Structure 1
Amino acid sequence: MKLSTQTLFDFAAVFTPKLDVASVPTGPGMYEALDRNFDHFKGHLLVSCYDFSEPWGSWERHPAGDEIVILLSGRVEFVVRGQEGDESVWLGQAGGYLVIPQGVWHTAKTSEPSRLLFMTPGEGTEHAQNPQLL
């Protein structure tokens, strides 16, 4: 057995349905490659890490399961859209995390450098640019 280390900024980790882990290079086209190479992400979990310094440009939701978002540094406001309207939750302490329920539209806002770790059930993920249409 030969072990090697990588960073989640260069390679996302994909847990397969058998709980094996595959490393996938991050960058343009990564999500299309994940769909193509991992059966449209059925039963898979994506572990990834991203830096942000401004609000996300879109909303998203994950119909296959709950998403866990862990704050590593910075301060981020998550906005989730429920039947009764939008609700904001702040992550402001390293190690703080939020569970975004299955199928709930969400986005994030920050104005400072922030680093987040995501555990995402990727199958069927949807994106929307205009939240008024949701």
Structure 2
Amino acid sequence: MPSEIKPLNINSTYVVMDGSGNAMPVSVSDTFYEELSRTFGDFKNKRLVSQLNFDRDWGTWEMHPAGEEFVCLISGQIDLILKQNGVENRLPLDTPGSYVIVPKGIWHTAKVHQPCSVLFITPGEGTQNRAV
């Protein structure tokens, strides 16, 4: 057990969880994703727990080939849009605590209706992005 257990804040310190059940706090900075790659490599068998705030639509589609992503609304209002077989499925998240589990390999983006805060648990290995 660590010598000191203290509270952290998801706004400034994300968590990387591995397949063995370990949870490692990681400070958020302007170079966070570059540091994440340097520290954790290809992210195999790892998930990132993060919280992000949005005041505009996402500028990209993303897809996670290594597993399902948990997307939970903390506040605000968004539509999560999943694209399957060329068809867009719009899923409204308008109540705090509402969530979607995005299936493995499905492209998704979001339309923001009200500034929002969203909690993610993301299988990062092989994540792909493309412009909306």
TM-score category (smaller protein): over 0.9
Question: Which residue identity lines up with residue 87 of structure 2 in the other structure?
Answer: G
2:40 is aligned, of 22, 38, 41, to 38
Q: Does the CA contact (< 8 Å) of 1:34 and 1:40 recur in 2?
A: no
Q: Give the length in aligned residue pairs.
A: 130
Rounded Cα–Cα distance in structure 1 between residues aligned with 2:63 and 2:34: 17
* CA distance in 1: counterparts of 2:73 and 2:52, whole angstroms: 10
Residue 67 of structure 1: aligned partner: 69
- Separation of aligned partners in 2, 1:98 and 1:27: 27
Q: Partners in 1 of 2:11 and 2:23 — Cα distance?
A: 16
State the shift of 1:29 in Å: 2.1
Other-structure match for 2:30: 28
Deviation for aligned residue 1:84: 4.3
- What TM-score, normalized by structure 1, do the two folds share? 0.92
Residue 54 of structure 2 is aligned to residue 52 of structure 1: yes
Q: Give structure 2 stretches of 5+ with no counterpart.
A: none
Deviation of the 1:32 alpha carbon: 2.0
CA distance in 2, matches of 1:68, 1:126: 16
2:114 equivalent to 1:112: yes
The alignment's TM-score, normalised by the length of structure 2, stands at 0.93
| Aligned residue runs from structure 1 range 93-112, under 5 A | 93-112=95-114
Equivalent position SS for 1:32: helix
Quick one: distance in 1 between partners of 2:63 and 2:72? 17
Secondary structure class of the residue paired with 2:42:
helix
Match of 1:15 in 2: 17
Q: Which amino acid aligns with 2:114?
A: E
**Which has the larger share of strand?**
2
State the partner residue of 1:6.
8
Confirm or deny: 8 A CA contact 1:60 1:107 kept in the other structure: yes
- Which residues of structure 1 form unaligned runs of 5+? none
Moved over 2 A (4+): none
**Structure 1 residues 111-130: aligned runs within 5 Å:** 111-130=113-132
2:121 & 2:111 partners in 1: Cα distance?
A: 19
Indicate the percent of aligned positions where both proteins have the same amino acid.
35
Aligned partner of 1:91: which letter?
Answer: L
